[in-house]
Amino acid sequence: MSDTPPEPAPVIVGDEPGSFPHGVLAERHPAIVRQVRKAFPFGPERRKALDALLASCTDGVVEPLPAGADARDRDRWADWGIDAYAGRSWFDVPWLWAESHFYRRLLDAVGYFGTGAWQGVDPFRPAKLAELDAPETDEELAALDGLADLPADERTRALLHGSLWGNRADLGFRLSGSGTGTQDRVQALVADDSDMLWELLPPAGKGTSGRPRTLCLVADNAGRELVPDLLLVAHLLERGSIDRAVLHLKPYPYYVSDATPADLMDALRRLVAAGGAAAAYGERLWSALTDGRVTVRAHPFSCAPLPYADMPDDLREEFTAATVTVLKGDLNYRRLVGDRWWPPTTSFAAATGYFPGPVAALRTLKSDVITGLSPDTEAALVASGEQRWRTSGTHALIQVRR
Ligand SMILES: O=P(O)(O)OC[C@@]1(O)O[C@H](CO)[C@@H](O)[C@@H]1O
């Protein structure tokens, strides 16, 4: 496939009733507001603000940030395009922008950025903790005990797949009640460049230049996705595939279940308390955090409504220095290749050609964006008659550009 930058395809907008993006704006967002309103004993002021957001996100327009907004945040949103979109319907601006801004407004409504009692209270925390405490999490952690007996390469592959399919555990699906939540899903990889990933991350002593090897892991969801992400990082450190890892988390609650530093601490404590092999992984990570081999970033751009092509210079420098940057999940994929109606056979390498170093995407498919399919794979998916292969999380991909 060619690495020449592809002709830009149309940007996805949520203005077409019946489309997936329209459903997110018209159904998922109101469901999230109602759920958050129910989950906390908010007083009249916060309830009024949530009701106003509910009305705005279904029938209203994007509004300028409120007068009380922090000046740095105001400047950021000015850079991120709010002046161009204020006054326009949520359904008429780029879908990526509308969704991202919705979460910023939701945090406003619950007083997250204010100076009152709700300051810093994560409105999604009850759902995140419930997931971390679920019996399924116990089962997944107990299954780690069996991995020790596998040949090294199989164990590595199992942990990669754990991290990949962990991306299905997305609370956004559950809160809207419209997703595929508990249904059986066919596990199918529509692209698998994992060999290329292992060429970038060989075990210690094999084909390495002697330079310290850094993995940037741009995480997605907390709980049952972050736990297997952490296991993978711990394993790669132990295997000597990497010397250090940088975990990129969200600076504030986002897209319901996205992982923040507080969620990392919850996941780590959960691992350490689990006993067995899980605890050993957890303790290894704990000590890697304390001695600086694993570091945590919560860069403002992680919550930006923009593609990674627009990343700021400091982030670009970090990704440039990484042996490989792994981006987890659907939203990061949309931001990596651009939230556009790409023809599915558009080259992934070309769509990510701007990225300043080797990059990998581990994602279950939960929105319309897709690149890097072979013509045969695209034809088979279309012929399968399974209309929702792009959005239902039944399919996944591992794509790598060196
Ligand atoms: O990034 P994630 O957690 O894999 O998925 C985020 C997601 O659920 O949110 C969006 C819809 O709100 C879609 O892009 C995607 O389906």
Distance in Å, CA 330 to ligand 1 centroid = 5
Q: Which of 260, 308, 366 to mutate to test the pocket of ligand 1 (most atoms within 8 A of CB)?
A: 366
Q: What is the pLDDT of residue 173?
A: 42
Mutual angle of helices 95-109 and 44-59, in 10-degree steps: 160
Q: What is the pLDDT along the chain (402 residues), one digit of tens a residue?
A: 557 778 889 999 999 999 999 999 999 999 999 999 999 999 999 999 999 999 999 999 999 988 777 878 899 999 999 999 999 999 999 999 999 999 999 999 999 998 999 999 999 999 999 999 999 898 889 989 988 889 989 999 999 999 999 998 654 444 433 333 333 333 489 999 999 999 999 998 765 566 789 999 999 999 999 999 999 999 999 999 999 999 999 999 999 999 999 999 999 999 999 999 999 999 999 999 999 999 999 999 999 999 999 999 999 999 999 999 999 999 999 999 999 999 999 999 999 999 999 999 999 999 999 999 999 999 999 898 777 899 999 999 999 999
Q: Which of 255, 263, 327, 365 to mutate to test the pocket of ligand 1 (most atoms within 8 A of CB)?
A: 255
DSSP string, 165-185: HHTT--HHHHHHT-S-TTS--
- Which residue's entry shows tokens 């203005």? 15
Q: What is the pLDDT of residue 168?
A: 87
pTM of the model: 0.94
- Which residue's entry shows tokens 């050993």? 280
Shortest CA distance to 213 belongs to which of 193, 190, 239? 239
The CATH architecture of the domain made up of 20-121 is Up-down Bundle (1.20)
Q: Which of 19, 32, 170, 392 to mutate to test the pocket of ligand 1 (most atoms within 8 A of CB)?
A: 170
Is the beta carbon of 225 within 6 A of some atom in ligand 1? no
Is residue 189 helix, strand or coil?
Answer: strand
CATH class of 127-401: alpha beta
Is the beta carbon of 164 within 6 A of some atom in ligand 1? no
| Helix then strand then coil, % of the chain, to nearest 5 | 50, 10, 40
Of ligand 1's atoms, which has the minimum distance to the CA of residue 334?
A: 14
Q: Where are the domains of the chain?
A: 20-121, 127-401
Is the beta carbon of 255 within 6 A of some atom in ligand 1? yes
DSSP string, 61-124: B--PPPTTS-HHHHHHHHHTTHHHHTTSBTTTSBHHHHHHHHHHHHHHHTTTTSSSTTTT--TT
Element containing residue 381 per DSSP (H, E)? helix 375-383
- Which residue's entry shows tokens 């109606």? 341
Say whether 127-401 and 20-121 share the same fold: no
Which residues are CB-neighbours of 118 under 8 A, at least 6 positions away?
40, 42, 46, 110, 111, 112
Q: What is the pLDDT of residue 11?
A: 97
